[in-house]
Structure 1
Amino acid sequence: MAKRFNIRMAGVGGQGVVTGSHILSTAVINAGGESTIVPFYGSEKRMAPVESYVRVSDEAIYEIGEITFPHIIIIFHPQVITHGKSYTMPFYFGLKEDGVALINNDGPMRLHKDQARELEERRAKLYYFPATKISLEVAGMDLATNMALMGCIGAITGLTNMAGLDQAVKDRFLGKGFVVSGGTAALDSVVERKFKKKQELIEKNVAVMRAGWNYAVDHGWAAADVKRAEEPVAAANA
């Protein structure tokens, strides 16, 4: 049977919602799957609502566009719920029965009684995941919150692996075919420093992503065949 998930991500400007969705989509393709992505945002400023729609599958995908009825919703910031900072309200609108809501928060949130009732009627699985806390603990910064969420959802869907995620991060930050070589010694030095800085950033982001992946495995959220990722990986097909 085909495995497919329509995923709606909602957050606020500055959290890397679109970047995260691109990385997840690329990681699924790296692992041999199929994916399409459509970002949606208005004013490009911090704390403005942002959404991104990602389809992932182990077979061909022919649809593109907004996802109205997702199997999974990912909430990058609790204000999407408490302040309505999302283009799709309420935050769980259209969530399919037995769907998953992955929420970036340190613990369960107090939802309005009507929201709690409707989610219960849909048999929704609410996963409260401390993505920002993990980013701070592992990388010393909150900017990798999106990486923690992508690692976690990668394990939940089971349509990619840590090698695919690792390569997706490298492709995003370095670009394909990055060459550390210049025409002069001075240029070589500048390019090498730039590469080293980016390499350190990649290593931190991948470490946070791995922590998110393992959190999903350790809490029983991951797909049945998904295992912990203990060590760094180098190739998408490893």
Structure 2
Amino acid sequence: MAIRFNIRMAGVGGQGVVTGSHIFSTGVINAGGESTIVPFYGSEKRMAPVESYVRVSDEPIYEIGEITFPHIIMIFHPQVITHGKSYTNPFYYGLKKEGVALINHDGPMRLEPDQERELKEINARLFYLPATTLSLDVAGIDLATNMAMIGAMGAITGLTNMDALAQAVKDRFLGKGFVVSGGTAALDSVVERKFKKKQELIDKNLAVVKAAWDYAVDNGWAKVKEGATSAATA
């Protein structure tokens, strides 16, 4: 049976949501899978809403475009939930039954009663990943938050591995095979100024990816792929 995940990533400008989605997609392809990606954002400015739609599978993918009914949603910033900073509201809109929400937060968030009820009705599984905290602790910079998110997602989907993600990260920061927007390129410059050498930049980002991957495995999230296989083919 095919493994397939439609993933909607939502965050705010300055977090590298689009960069993270490109790296994750490439990591799946590097591991022998299939993936397509469509970024969606308005004005390229810090804290403006950003979404990216990523499809990953172990079989050919023929669809492209916005993902309305995701199997997984990734919330890169809690303000997507608390301030409605997303093009898709509520943040879980369209999430399939028994779908997964990976949320960047140090612990469970207090949701509105209606949100709690609706998520319970679809038996959604909420995973809270301290992505920004991991980024600060491991890399000494919060701009590696996106690396933590894709590291955990790699473990959750099981469609890539650390070697494949490592190659994707290296290609991204060495400028191979990526076409970036002006805003994303500017963000890259900010990140690079935080480190003395590009190799250190790559090493720090990979360390965050690995830390988040291990966090997901240690918490049993990697087992999600077994339950999501049948849902993904529905």
TM > 0.5: yes
Kindly provide the CA deviation profile for residues 164-204 of structure 1, in whole angstroms up to 9, marking residues without a partner as x.
00000001000349xxxxxxxxxxxxxxxxxx711110000
Shift of 1:224: 7.5
Q: Which residue of 2 aligns with 1:45?
A: 45
Question: Greater Rg, structure 1 or structure 2?
Answer: 1
Q: Distance in 2 between matches of 1:159 and 1:64?
A: 19
Whether contact under 8 Å (2:157, 2:225) holds in the other structure is no
Kindly provide the CA deviation profile for residues 39-78 of structure 1, in whole angstroms up to 9, marking residues without a partner as x.
0000100000000000000000000000000000000000
What's the Cα RMSD here? 1.7
Q: Specify the code of the residue in structure 2 equivalent to 1:36.
A: T
- The DSSP-based 3-state class of the residue aligned with 1:222 is helix
Q: Which residue of 1 aligns with 2:152?
A: 152
Shift of 1:223: 3.6
Q: Which of the pair is proportionally richer in helix?
A: 2
1:109-128 correspondence runs (5 A) = 109-128=109-128
- Residue 25 of structure 2 corresponds to residue 30 of structure 1: no
Q: Distance in 1 between matches of 2:105 and 2:123?
A: 20
Q: Distance in 1 between matches of 2:223 and 2:119?
A: 22
Q: Specify the code of the residue in structure 1 equivalent to 2:158.
A: G
Whether contact under 8 Å (2:37, 2:52) holds in the other structure is yes
Q: Which residue of 2 aligns with 1:203?
A: 203
Q: Which residue of 2 aligns with 1:62?
A: 62
Q: Distance in 2 between matches of 1:28 and 1:154?
A: 8
Sequence identity percentage:
80
Kindly provide the CA deviation profile for residues 14-44 of structure 1, in whole angstroms up to 9, marking residues without a partner as x.
0000000000000000000000000000010
Whether contact under 8 Å (2:156, 2:225) holds in the other structure is no
Figure out how many residues of one structure are paired with residues of the other and give that number. 209
Q: Distance in 2 between matches of 1:225 and 1:3?
A: 8
Runs of at least 4 residues off by over 6 Å: none
Q: Specify the code of the residue in structure 2 equivalent to 1:18.
A: V
Greater RCO, 1 or 2 (C-alpha within 8 Å, sep 6+): 2
1:144-183 correspondence runs (5 A) = 144-176=144-176
Q: Distance in 2 between matches of 1:99 and 1:164?
A: 25
Q: Which residue of 1 aligns with 2:130?
A: 130
TM-score, length-normalised on structure 1? Answer: 0.85
Q: Distance in 2 between matches of 1:83 and 1:176?
A: 36
TM-score, length-normalised on structure 2? Answer: 0.87
